[in-house]
Amino acid sequence: MTDTCPNCLTRGIKPRKERTDSQQTRSAYRCPNCGHAWITSRLRNPAA
């Protein structure tokens, strides 16, 4: 999965690290354009 930097809006950034458990995937990102770092947490099986 890729993400968009919330600081400078650069698109298509791949995560530096990912951790998955039974309920969620956490991804750590750092923007190559501005250096901003952030973490996302996404549910693996969202409720329908």
User: What does the pLDDT look like over 1-41, one tens digit per residue?
Assistant: 899 999 999 999 999 999 999 899 999 999 999 999 999 99
Helix (H, G, I), strand (E, B) or coil at 3: strand
pLDDT at residue 30 in the model = 98
Task: Return the beta strands (E) in 1-48 as ranges.
Answer: 17-20, 24-30, 37-43
What residue has token string 């995937």? 25
Q: What pTM was estimated for this model as a whole?
A: 0.82
User: Which is nearest to 11 in space by CA: 19, 20, 1?
Assistant: 1
The Cα 48–Cα 34 span in angstroms is 36
pLDDT band at 44 (very low <50, low <70, confident <90, very high): confident
Report residue 39: phi and psi, to 5°: -125, 140
24 or 45: which leads in pLDDT: 24
pLDDT at residue 48 in the model = 57
